[in-house]
Amino acid sequence: MLAAARTRLRRLEPSAAADALATDDLSVLVDIRPAAQRAAEGEIPDALVVERNVLEWRFDPTSDARLPIATSDDLQVIVICSEGYTSSLAADALRQLGLRRATDVVGGYQAWAAAGLPVRPGAAAR
């Protein structure tokens, strides 16, 4: 399933994801890690936190429960998890909803932090 999902995505390295966020007004970074994982590993400033179990209906442009940002199929939702596995499946699910630009970050939060991109300590470390 993972390999098949990834064939449908144009996955982004952490630096390319950061560049997209800085230059594309229709891009949003969505952290799908559970609260306990964010608390232990750390957080990404300005990432929108939408845990995996509610992702589809929060981003489906036709859903009554959608987020205010989820009004266009042109929105580039860049999904990030801890290591880049769950995020690939989640991004593919968003693509199946019609968000054609949905993708994920190769290596997830671990790669983002290792690349020196902005992070802050999670609640467990504060």
Confirm if 94 and 79 have CB atoms less than 8 A apart: yes
pTM assigned to the model: 0.95
Residue matched to tokens 């470390």: 125
Please write the tens of the pLDDT for every residue from 39-49: 999 999 999 99
Query: pLDDT value at position 104?
Result: 98
Structure tokens at 50: 């939408």
For the stretch 13-45, pLDDT in tens is: 999 999 999 999 999 999 999 999 999 999 999
Residue 30 DSSP code = E
Domains of the chain (ranges; CATH) run 2-114 (3.40.250.10)
Give the span between the Cα atoms of 86 and 28, in whole angstroms: 17
